[in-house]
Amino acid sequence: MTDLSAVKAALKSQRIETPSWAYGNSGTRFKVFAQAGVPRDPYEKLDDAAQVQAVTGVAPVVSLHIPWDKVADYAALAAHAKDRGLVLGAINSNVFQDDDYKLGSVCHPDADVRRKALAHLLECVDIMDATGSRDLKLWFADGTNYPGQDDVSARQDRLAEALAAVCERLGDDQRMLLEYKLFEPAFYTTDVPDWGTAYAHCLKLGPKAQVVVDTGHHAPGTNIEFIVAVLLREQKLGGFDFNSRFYADDDLMVGAADPFQLFRIMHEVVKNGGLAAETGVAFMLDQCHNIEAKIPAIVRSVMNVQEATAKALLVDAAALTAAQRAGDVLEANSVLMDAYNTDVRPLLAEVREELGLHPDPVAAYRASGWQERIVAGRVGGQQAGWGA
């Protein structure tokens, strides 16, 4: 039997981090469909994030992307966040949108380009000091398009050197989250293509270096929950970049393409203790909302993560272990499926009411009048930078 009050307490204390770039105009490389009322600067992105927090109560953390969120005074931006009940989360570096990075950034064959890329990563740590952020999230577009183009092992050496320099610079309470991605924009080799490569680097770098699992960055059919279980077991799971994919790095709303996969991932998280704040697993979103309304889509995404988490928390752990130990394959599977097939929406509505919130966050957002205010008040909203 599952203890419902413990389930509710866990749901109330989960923190879901939303990305600043999801509030701006962003999308595919083909066309970014601009929406009315989107933020014109990072301050307004935080104003929108505050609306998501206001209706969900579990999304007070916002990731930034540098230089997309470049401001003159990061401490002032952090204060703006604080005034709205938010905190600034992961700082995402950007060493992929400059002409110099055609052949890579920290893995580039030219030492001058590598120095420039490293300087940016170190600047991101300076920004973390000002914002109070714990996490530096690193994703590299580095790789090659053609066999023979560059020395694969030498590129790993260059990567290791840069990562070590970044790790060295981190403060005691700061971490480096290394993100992997199978392919794109490099199509032959990618320098951090998979969790194994990320893990190997993080292992050498020590406890401040952790792997981040972006759910859209795997080959079709990859068993992501297995990766999650292994990384948690090795205490190397720094967090998630949640989103949905049908084909490649689609960046659609988490839980939209495959809610069952999201449940399986959250089951491994819950089972292996990753929901506890002390483990430091960050539940971040990394999404673009190109054709759907942005703020309600982010609210829905937060709810989708909550629903998968609630179902995972409802798994009857004792019954599951008993069935597994007895070798009762069907019973073990049905214990898991019972939890997955539970409609957790009423439970989450109760959780919200107990937090003093409206039971339906999307309806609450629509009723708030915020959308009408930003459409009327903001002109010339910002391009997030990605997918331009």
Binders in 324-353 for ligand PSV, by CB under 6 A: none
Nearer to ligand PSV, 17 or 214 (CB): 214
List Cα–Cα distances, 164 to 67, 105, 244, in angstroms.
Answer: 22, 15, 32
Q: From CA 60, how far away is CA 54, in angstroms rounded?
A: 9
Q: Comparing C-alpha atoms, which of 223, 152, 222 is closest to residue 186?
A: 152
Q: How far is the C-alpha of 51 from the C-alpha of 67, rounded, in Å?
A: 24
| Of 249 and 350, CB closest to Mn ion | 249
Is residue 194 part of the contact set for Mn ion (CB under 5 A)? no
Asked whether position 241 contacts Mn ion by CB under 5 A, the answer is yes
Amino acid found at 236: K
Here's the x/- map for ligand PSV, 134-153, by CB under 6 A: it reads as -----x--------------
Nearer to Mn ion, 26 or 131 (CB): 26
Quick check: 214 binds ligand PSV (CB under 6 A)?
yes
Q: Which of positions 264-283 make contact with ligand PSV (CB under 6 A)?
A: none
Copy the structure tokens of residue 19. Answer: 């990305």
Asked whether position 92 contacts ligand PSV by CB under 6 A, the answer is yes
Residue 8 or residue 181: which is nearer to ligand PSV going by CB?
181
**Residue number with CB closer to ligand PSV (249 or 331):** 249
360 CB-near residues (< 8 Å, 6+ apart): 349
Nearer to Mn ion, 69 or 286 (CB): 286
β-bridge partners, 16: 283
Q: Which residues contact 291 (CB under 8 A, 6 or more apart)?
A: 27, 33
| b/e burial code for range 358-378 (CB count within 10 A of at least 16 → b) | bebbbebbbeeebbeebeeeb
Pick one of 17, 47, 142, 179: the residue that binds ligand PSV (CB under 6 A): 179
Return the residue matching tokens 């009315």.
Answer: 36
Contact at 8 Å (CB) between 290 and 27?
yes
Distance from C-alpha of 309 to C-alpha of 263, rounded to nearest angstrom: 7
Which of ligand PSV, Mn ion, none does residue 142 bind to, with CB < 5 to 8 Å depending on kind? none
Of 286, 289, 298, 313, which lies in the binding site for Mn ion, with binding defined by CB under 5 A? 286
286 binds ligand PSV (CB under 6 A): yes
Contact, 222 vs 183, CB < 8 A? Answer: no
- The answer to the question of residue 360 lying near Mn ion (CB under 5 A) is no
CB of 249 or CB of 258, closer to ligand PSV: 249
Cβ at position 215, least distance to ligand PSV in Å? 10
- Least separation in angstroms between residue 302's CB and Mn ion is 17
Interaction of residue 240 with ligand PSV, rule CB under 6 A = no
Give the binding site for ligand PSV (CB under 6 A): 92, 139, 179, 181, 214, 241, 249, 286, 386
Give the binding site for Mn ion (CB under 5 A): 214, 241, 249, 286
